Structure 1
Amino acid sequence: MKKLAIFDFDGTLFNSVDDVVICFNQTLEIYNFPTLTKEEYFECLGGNIDEIVSLVLGENNSFENIEKVKKTYLELYNPSPKEHTLPFPEAHECLNKLQEKGVLLAINSNRLNYSLKYFVEKFFTDIDFVLVEGHDEDYPSKPNPFGVENILKKANVDLKDAVYIGDSKTDIETAQNAGMDCIVVKWGYGNQKDYENDYILEAVDEFDDILKYF
């Protein structure tokens, strides 16, 4: 049985896409770039902020455009109420159940560190995470295993005793690059191809489906 659960954040623990869509589309309108639907944004998520902006801009993804859109997006997103960004139903209950079992918990995300920690401190104050590892622009982002390796070191857990839990291709690649088992959740921003990936242990429909591995 596994001893450490490393969770992705966006699309795994939190439903966060609606606030992202609102602020990105406001930004794109400012610069007269085409806006995207929520479904189109799903195809752009998973990487770090620069990678996401590049995909959102499509053929307009010059360095200059990426920089100005990123700056304006963060200026809009950071002070916004983010009222639509909430934990998925049963997310908190699942974390509590794992914690009661003595399972070590961590988060590894490409969301910027300060934003990640804001939501964790707001909604999961009673969960004792070993480490909450967001994206720092000075260090590699997922699918590089840098964050996973930091978590394993802090938790003092072997690879075979840990599992990565995410919703998309980026999470699967992160687990592969770390040499770690992976579970994919179906309620996030992934697709059928991710759910059928040969590398994963399972694609689960409900949070309780995760518990059997611990």
Structure 2
Amino acid sequence: MKKLCIFDFDGTLFDSVEDVVICFNEALSEYGFPTLTRDEYIPCLGGNIDDIVSKVLGVNSNPQNIESFKKTYLDLYDSSKKEKTIPFPDSNEVLRNLQDNGILLAINSNRLTYSLNEFVEKFFSDIDFVAIEGHNINCPSKPDPFGVKNILNKTNLSSDEAFYIGDSITDIKTAQNADMDCVIVEWGYGDEKTFNHDYPLKVINEFSQLYELF
């Protein structure tokens, strides 16, 4: 019996890409590098911040540029209002109903933990997430199952008692590495390769379809 839902954040719980695009393009302009369109950013997302920055920089990617550009981007992002980052429709209601019916909820993301907490406190203050596992520079990031295993340890549950819910190939690989059933959502930043992957147990296009899992 399933008792736990572990959610990815960007593209699964929150529509966040527009604020990311704005801040990345501002940083690229500061360095004199070409800016990118929203569609060009989407394939860059899914890894940890170093992976994303490397892909965004493209031919300008090297260790020195990655470190300096990452700091510039994070400073811009942290100081921005992030007004375009909002939960996907019906997410709060569905999470609250799942919680009220005894389902445990957690978040596992490659976004930095302090950023996850910022948005959870702002938009999901009525949701009691049992664990929020974000990126830690001293620990492996997704698709390594490190964060998932931490969540399972905190809840004293096994992998077959949980669903991993995400929108990307990285999320599928994370679930595979954790030996956990995976559900993919279509409202995020995935593509046909993600939606047609043979590993996910289910692909859904509305938040309310999560009820069907139980």
Normalising by the smaller structure, the TM-score range is over 0.9
Counterpart-to-counterpart distance in 1, 2:101 and 2:55: 40
What pairs with 1:176-195 in structure 2 (closer than 5 Å)?
A: 176-195=176-195
What is the CA–CA distance in structure 2 between the aligned matches of 1:203 and 1:9, rounded to whole Å? 17
The one-letter code matched in structure 1 to 2:25 is N
- Whether 1:95 and 2:95 are equivalent positions in the alignment is yes
Match in the other structure for 2:104:
104
Q: What is the CA–CA distance in structure 2 between the aligned matches of 1:25 and 1:97, rounded to whole Å?
A: 38
Aligned amino acid, residue 163 of structure 1: F
Match of 2:128 in 1: 128
d(CA) in 1 for partners of 2:155, 2:94: 20
Q: CA deviation at 1:13?
A: 0.3
Which moved further from structure 2: 55-64 or 16-25? Answer: 55-64
Once residues 40 and 203 of structure 1 are traced to their aligned partners in structure 2, the CA distance between those partners, rounded to angstroms, is 24
| Counterpart residue number, 1:61 | 61
Q: TM-score, normalising length from structure 1? A: 0.98
Secondary structure in structure 2 of the residue aligned to 1:43: helix
Tell me the equivalent position of 1:206: 206
Aligned length: 214
SS at match of 2:130: strand
Structure 1 counterpart of 2:190, which letter? G
How far does the alpha carbon of each residue in 1:18-48 deviate from its partner, in whole angstroms, 9 at most, with x for none? 0000000000011111111001111000011
CA distance in 1, matches of 2:69, 2:91: 32
Q: Which amino acid aligns with 2:176?
A: Q
Deviation at 1:157, TM superposition (A): 1.1
Partner SS state of residue 141, structure 2: coil
Aligned pairs (5 A) from 1:24-173? 24-173=24-173
For residues 148-206 of structure 1, give each alpha carbon's deviation from its aligned partner in whole angstroms, at most 9, with x where no partner exists.
00000111111111010000011000000000000000000110110010000111010
Equivalent AA in structure 2 for residue 72 of structure 1: T
Runs of 5+ unmatched residues, structure 1? none
| Runs of 4 or more consecutive aligned structure 1 residues displaced over 6 Å after TM superposition | none
For each residue in 1:53-104, what CA deviation from the matched residue of structure 2 results, as whole angstroms up to 9, or x when unmatched?
Answer: 0010111111111111101001100011000000011110110111011000
Indicate the percent of aligned positions where both proteins have the same amino acid: 63
Shift of 1:213: 1.1
* TM-score (norm. length: structure 2): 0.98
Gaps of 5+ in 2: none
Q: Which residue of 1 aligns with 2:11?
A: 11
What are the Cα deviations for residues 78-132 of structure 1, in whole angstroms up to 9, with x where unaligned?
A: 0110000000111101101110110000000000011111101111111111101
Distance 2:159 2:74 in 1: 35
Structure 1 Cα separation of the partners of residues 211 and 193 of structure 2 = 24
**Aligned partners of 1:78, 1:118: CA distance in 2, in Å?**
10
